[in-house]
């Protein structure tokens, strides 16, 4: 199956390179370590330790292949580069498989956390998921800079858009 890229307005971008999805999807399930780190983040009250855990979480995530690190998949509103790709996946409750990465260690952990929070949810559940409440529960809003908080919101918004069928940025 080929991938069709979309411009930021949601129109098909015929000038973008296409890829074969089957060559790009990894069949690696999330490691049990990711589940443990997310649980530790949820239980952690020390912001410094929480950031260390987020960095560790990002280190456990599979890196995104370079061919996906293009402007079509870059999340707008993030200070660091963040790429978020949604691929069709019949085996997923949402019908999508999300891939993400960042060039900043902490942000890679944040985007991995965002995806972990919705990993077994339907597209409708993801589209209406209250990331902000979860971030407040984790204390992230209190401890992140305003730029990082805005970027985290942009990542969550992008995941909701893709789950709701907004094809801009979908592969």
Please say if 78 is a catalytic residue.
yes
| Gap between the Cα atoms of 44 and 71, Å rounded | 35
Beta bridge partners of 85: 99
- Measured over the CA atoms of residue 75, residue 127, residue 137 and residue 41, the dihedral's sign is negative
Q: Given 37, 61, 75, 78, which residue is catalytic? A: 78
Catalytic residues: 78
């Amino acid at each position: 199956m080929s991938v069709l890229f979309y411009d930021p307005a949601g129109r098909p971008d015929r000038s973008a390179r296409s890829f074969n999805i089957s060559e790009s999807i990894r069949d690696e399930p999330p490691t049990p370590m990711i589940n443990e780190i997310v649980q530790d983040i949820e239980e952690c009250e020390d912001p410094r330790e929480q950031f260390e855990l987020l960095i560790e979480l990002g280190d456990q995530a599979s890196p995104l292949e370079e061919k996906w690190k293009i402007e079509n998949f870059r999340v707008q509103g993030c200070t660091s580069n963040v790429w978020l790709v949604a691929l069709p996946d019949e085996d997923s409750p949402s019908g999508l498989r999300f891939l993400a990465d960042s060039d900043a260690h902490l942000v890679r952990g944040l985007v991995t956390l965002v995806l972990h929070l919705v990993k077994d949810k339907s597209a409708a559940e993801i589209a209406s998921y209250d990331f902000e409440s979860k971030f407040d529960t984790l204390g992230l809003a209190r401890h992140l800079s305003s730029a990082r908080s805005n970027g985290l919101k942009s990542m969550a918004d992008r995941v909701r858009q893709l789950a709701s069928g907004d094809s801009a940025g979908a592969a």
